[in-house]
Amino acid sequence: MPPVRPAAIRRTATTLADGRELIYFDDSEPYVSGQRTRRLDDPRPLPDRFAPIPQPDGSLAPVTGPQMRRDPLTGDWIPMAGHRMNRTFMPSADACPLCPAREDADYSDGEIPATDYDVAVFENRFPALLAVPGAPPEPWAVDGEELWQARPASGRCEVVCFSSDHDSSFADLTPGRVRTIVEAWADRTAALSELPGVQQVFCFENRGPEIGVTLPHPHGQIYAFGYVTPRTRTMLERAAEHRAATGGHLLRDVLEAELRAGVRIVAESEHWVGYVPAAARWPVEVHLAPRRDVLDLPGLTDAERDDLAVTYLELLRRLDRFFVDGAGAPVPLPYVAGWHQAVLGEGRELGRLHLQLLSVRRAPGKLKYLAGVESGMASWISDTTPERVAARLQELA
Ligand SMILES: [Zn+2]
C-alpha cells in the first residue's frame, strides 16, 4: 500500500468576526511547514453572535439559543429552531459560503477568509444545537404542563469543508486528503467530547440534492449532542440486553457473525471490514467497522486511519457505480454517511465505532420515500435484500 499519511498535518485555529471558531487542517506546502499561514482575520462586519439584539423600540434583547422539547409519547428530544439570533448578514444567493475567498477581492462573502485551504472546519452559522453562554440551563414545562418538558438545545454544530474545489466530491479526493479529513474528525470528536453536557458526537456527510443538500460544495457536518439520540438509545438498550443474555459485545458479535457468514462482506482490508447488514433497511446500506474494538475516531491508530482513507475511498467509488442509467453511465449515489461513536456517559463501553452509509436511491430515477409504514409506524419494509446489494458491490470490486 503506498503511503497515505501526509508528512504532517498542521492545525491552525482562529476566530471568525462573529466569534465562531474556524480551524484549518493543512497537509500541503508552504502551510504545513508553517512557512506561510492561512488568512486568520475575518473582514466581514458581522456582529458578535452572542451580543444583545437591538429591537425596533431601541431596547436590547438577549440572544436565546434553540430549545428542544421531549415528545412525551416516545421520550425523544426534538430540537427546534426559531430562536433569536444575530443574523443581520446573509451571503448573496450566488455566492457559495464554503468556497475560499477570491484572490481579487479583499472582502469575502464566504465563511473561509483564506484564498485556498486543504480542509477547514468552522462552527455552523445557523446551528440546530448551540450553547449560549450565560443562558439559564434549567428545564421548563411548556405551557406549564409537566408532561411537556423543554430544555435549551445546547451542544454544537460544525461544518467540515472537505475540499476548496466547489465541483469536487469526497470520492474524488486523494487518499492523503481523506487522511487529513480523518484527522480533522478525530480532532473535533476529542474537542467536542470535552464540552460541558455533550453526550455524543456524530460526524456525517449528506451527499446529493436527493438527500436535501442545498450546498453542492463537498462538505460534511459534526453534531455534538447534549442528549442521546433515539437510534443510539435503542442500540444501547439492545447492546445491554445482549450483554446480559450472552456476556458478549453486540457490535463486535455482529461483525464476527458477518465475517463468518461472509456473503454480505463487501470490503476487507488489514484493519477494516465493510458489510451490508443482515437486516439492512435502506435500498443501499453499508457498514464499515474496524477489526479492533475501538470506541471512537480518536481511538484509531495511525495505521487504522491510513487504511480507512484507502478503504473508504474505494468503497465510495464503487457506490458511485452501483446504479447505471439506460446508456450504461454511472449514476452518482446520493447518500448519508455517519460515524456511530461511543456515547460519553453511561453505556460508553457498549459502543463500538462504525460508519453507516445509506442511500434513498432504489433505482436510477427512483427514490425511496418514507411513506405511511415508515413515517407513521417507524416500521421499515425493504424493497430489496441485503444479499442482492452485497452481490452488486462485490461485482464492482
Ligand atoms: Zn463552493
* pLDDT over threshold 80, residue 5: no
pLDDT class for 105, splitting at 50, 70, 90? low
State percent of the chain over pLDDT 70: 95
**Which stretch of 178-182, 289-293, 369-373, 386-390 has the lowest confidence by average pLDDT?**
369-373
Give 343-390 pLDDT, tens digit per residue: 999 999 999 999 999 999 999 989 998 889 999 999 999 989 999 999
Distance spanning both ends of the chain, measured CA to CA: 17
Ligand 1 center to residue 166 CA distance, Å? 4
Once rounded to an integer, what is the mean pLDDT over residues 265-279? 98
> What integer is the mean pLDDT of 296-304?
97
Rounded mean pLDDT of 97-107?
77
Can you give the pTM of this predicted structure? 0.95
All three cell numbers of 292 = 479492533
Helix 175-193 to helix 302-319 angle (10° resolution) is: 120
Closest to 297 measured CA to CA, from 253, 338, 357, 241: 338
> How far, in Å, from the CA of 246 to the mean position of ligand 1?
50
- With 60 as the cut, is the pLDDT of residue 106 above it? no
Instruction: Give residue 104's pLDDT band: very low, low, confident or very high (50, 70, 90).
Output: low
H or E element, residue 389? helix 386-395
Q: Which of 83, 219, 249, 271 is catalytic?
A: 219
Asked if residues 154 and 143 have their Cβ atoms less than 8 Å apart, the reply is: no
Band (pLDDT 50/70/90 cuts) for residue 2 is: low
The lowest-confidence range among 46-60, 100-114, 192-206, 327-341 is: 100-114
Going from the Cα of 192 to the center of ligand 1, the distance in angstroms, rounded, reads: 26
Separation of CA 3 and ligand 1 centre (Å): 29
Q: How large a percentage of the chain has pLDDT more than 90?
A: 81
Is there a catalytic annotation at residue 249?
A: no
- pLDDT-based confidence at residue 136 (cuts at 50, 70, 90): confident
Which is more confidently placed, 248 or 108? 248
Rounded distance, CA 275 to CA 318, Å? 13
Cell numbers at 141, concatenated: 414545562
Cβ pair 89, 16 in contact under 8 A: no
What does the pLDDT read at residue 91?
57
Tell me what pLDDT residue 50 has.
92
What is the chain's mean pLDDT, rounded? Answer: 93
Q: Which residues are registered as beta bridge partners of 155?
A: 225
In angstroms, the CA 102 to CA 100 distance is 6
User: With b meaning 16 or more CB within 10 Å and e meaning fewer, what string describes 359-374?
Assistant: bbbbeeeeebeeeeee
CA of 98 from ligand 1 middle (Å) equals 5
CA of 39 relative to ligand 1 center, distance in Å: 18
Q: Are 295 and 352 in contact, with CB atoms under 8 Å apart?
A: yes
In the chain, ranges of CATH 3.30.428.10 domains: 10-227, 231-395
Q: Select the CATH number that applies to the domain covering 231-395 from these four: 3.30.428.10, 3.40.228.10, 3.30.565.10, 3.40.640.10.
A: 3.30.428.10
Higher pLDDT, 5 or 255: 255
The pLDDT of residue 86 is 61
What pLDDT digit, counting tens, does each position of 77-91 carry? 999 987 666 655 555
C-alpha cell at 177: 486528503
Q: Is a pLDDT exceeding 70 seen at residue 134?
A: yes
CATH 3.30.428.10 fits 10-227, yes or no: yes
pLDDT of 84: 66
How many Å apart are CA 215 and CA 200, to the nearest integer?
26
Distance from Cα 52 to the centre of ligand 1, integer Å: 31
C-alpha cell at 136: 439559564
Which whole number is the average pLDDT over 135-157?
Answer: 94
**Looking at residue 125, what DSSP letter applies?**
S
Please name which of 65, 184, 53, 204 lies closest in space to residue 129, comparing C-alpha atoms.
65
Q: Is the pLDDT of residue 137 over 90?
A: no
Give SS3 for 219: strand
Maximum CA pair distance of the chain?
70
Q: Is the pLDDT of residue 93 over 70?
A: no
Decide if pLDDT at 394 tops 70.
yes
Averaged pLDDT for residues 280-297: 97
pLDDT band at 63 (very low <50, low <70, confident <90, very high): confident
